[in-house]
Structure 1
Amino acid sequence: MSFDRRIKIAPSILSADFANFGAECQAIEAQGCDWVHVDVMDGHFVPNLTFGPATCAAIRPHIKGVMDVHLMISPVDAYIDAFAAAGADVITAHVEAGPHVHRTLQAIRGAGKKAGLALNPGTGLDTVEYLLDMVDLVCVMTVNPGFGGQKFIESQIDKVRRLRAMIGDRPVHIEIDGGVTPITAPLVAAAGADVLVAGSAVFKGGSVTNPGPYGENIRAIRAAAEAAVKAA
């Protein structure tokens, strides 16, 4: 998993057909996605309950590229090894999920995985400043975590811009999670984001038996974002 700042589209399987996860992962990769994003929710840190390590292990053989696992859970540390063993390439924890996030990031890297740090919309960048040399990715939540299909929070665009300046030349991805569409993707891409998580915007109109719309949706998001980067 080499580093570059080209736009990457990471469909969230939270919007996929739960009965066909393996086929859905194969379909979105065949249709041109870059990463597969897995939203793990515990019903405690966020008001929803989704997947565990067993689901990640089950879909891993169906994913050729990067499996990007976003842990919206608290506590985090006790589960890192399980998600690492399940085949996650990137493991992202929330800065709000525990009192010792530096230790959490150490544990993720200690498990041999890329370490991500996620920020809720109400969390400022002062929490990130002293952790940037510990992370491979910062995920800026552009909705409140817990559910798909929410409206994009525009105040986070300035957060992305300031985060990009703070990162400087460090090899750290900026990921956007929430409300990404061909309309909002250019806004965050121009501000400095390079990994765009999209759920309903990718999966709408398609299915395992009719995956063409997945590709159309992925290409539309990518084209809009790349145009904004070029114009910036």
Structure 2
Amino acid sequence: MAIQISPSILSADFARLADEAAVVASSADWLHVDVMDNHFVPNLTLGLPVVESLRKAAAVPLDCHLMIEDPDRWAPDYAEVGAGSVTIHAEAAKSPIRTLRTIRSAGARAGLALNPATSVDVYADLLAEVDMLLVMTVEPGFGGQPFLDLMLPKIRRARELISTRDTDVWLQVDGGVSDETIERCAEAGADVFVAGSAVYKSADPAAAVDALRAQAQRVTAVGV
């Protein structure tokens, strides 16, 4: 499986978002944008106008992760302003199938995110409606949290469910991904990795992306 790295601008300098996007443009596959509303999660970050502006400035496609209370209302708008991928939370969506289909019809990849306490099996039947399944490896809301090792069996279970279906669904992990944890995630079956502090708190963010990718590729190459 192809390894993809999505640096999270939650750990970047918000006063220099365009510059921070450019720093990883040569190495990243996506730019992960955490949208938080201080309702679904206890934090407030950025919203649609900033995403629209960033899309015009960034050379890397945007991977928008909506940690918001009403994704059914707002998710299609993020696709329409040019986000390459829009992920909604299963716990927040009232009409997930309709919303996922609307995201796709607007031209973006549709993702479904699961909080740590949410069972992946409950949403197995929705895999045909998604392009990416996101397993949160921390509680959503804040960057810099330590990785939850107890999510590794859940990642493995998600990979099992994806593998039993005739569908090409990416398996993303978000939260605490670093040079100390990415290999365990890759071994469990993840192929898209969100990394915030591990990238933007390093001296060379682009080199950090390359190093993380190499670590994950080593694990998948040997078929661990």
Q: Tell me the TM-score range normalised by the shorter chain.
A: over 0.9
Give the Å deviation of 1:145: 0.1
Between the two proteins, what is the percent identity of the paired residues?
A: 46
Q: Give unpaired runs (5+ residues) of structure 2.
A: none
Whether the 8 Å CA contact 1:44–1:73 is kept in 2: the answer is: yes
Amino acid paired to 2:2: R
Amino acid paired to 2:190: A
Q: Write the distance in 2 (CA, Å) between the matches of 1:8 and 1:98.
A: 26
Whether the 8 Å CA contact 2:75–2:88 is kept in 1: the answer is: no
What is the correspondence of 1:67-146 to structure 2 with a 5 Å cutoff? 67-146=62-141
Q: CA RMSD in A?
A: 1.2
Q: Write the distance in 2 (CA, Å) between the matches of 1:66 and 1:52.
A: 16
1:215 match: 206
Q: 1:55 aligns with which of 45, 50, 56?
A: 50
Q: 2:198 aligns with which of 198, 201, 210?
A: 201
Q: Write the distance in 1 (CA, Å) between the matches of 2:209 and 2:121.
A: 33
Whether the 8 Å CA contact 2:187–2:220 is kept in 1: the answer is: yes
CA deviation profile, 1:65-113 (whole Å, cap 9, x unmatched): 3210000001111112321222111100000003322222122123222
Q: 1:16 aligns with which of 4, 12, 20?
A: 12
Whether the 8 Å CA contact 2:113–2:134 is kept in 1: the answer is: yes
Whether the 8 Å CA contact 1:35–1:67 is kept in 2: the answer is: yes
Amino acid paired to 1:19: A
2:217 match: 226
Give the Å deviation of 1:222: 1.2
Amino acid paired to 1:121: P
Amino acid paired to 1:204: K
Question: What is the TM-score normalised by the length of structure 2?
Answer: 0.95
Whether the 8 Å CA contact 2:178–2:198 is kept in 1: the answer is: yes
Q: Write the distance in 2 (CA, Å) between the matches of 1:104 and 1:204.
A: 35
Question: What is the TM-score normalised by the length of structure 1?
Answer: 0.91
Whether the 8 Å CA contact 1:183–1:224 is kept in 2: the answer is: no
Q: Write the distance in 2 (CA, Å) between the matches of 1:88 and 1:20.
A: 19
2:23 match: 27
**Secondary structure of the residue that 1:96 maps to in structure 2?**
coil
Whether the 8 Å CA contact 1:95–1:127 is kept in 2: the answer is: no
Q: Write the distance in 2 (CA, Å) between the matches of 1:48 and 1:147.
A: 7
Q: Write the distance in 1 (CA, Å) between the matches of 2:191 and 2:84.
A: 17
Q: Give unpaired runs (5+ residues) of structure 1.
A: 207-212
Amino acid paired to 2:39: H
Q: Write the distance in 2 (CA, Å) between the matches of 1:147 and 1:13.
A: 12
Residues matched between the structures, number: 221
- CA distance 1:205–1:182, shift in 2 (3 Å): closer
Q: Which moved more, 1:172-181 or 1:78-87?
A: 78-87
Q: Write the distance in 2 (CA, Å) between the matches of 1:6 and 1:24.
A: 25
Amino acid paired to 1:99: K
Q: Which moved more, 1:144-153 or 1:165-174?
A: 165-174
Whether the 8 Å CA contact 1:77–1:107 is kept in 2: the answer is: no
Amino acid paired to 2:187: A
Query: Is the counterpart of residue 182 in structure 1 residue 179 in structure 2?
Result: yes
Q: Write the distance in 1 (CA, Å) between the matches of 2:155 and 2:43.
A: 26
**Secondary structure of the residue that 2:213 maps to in structure 1?**
helix
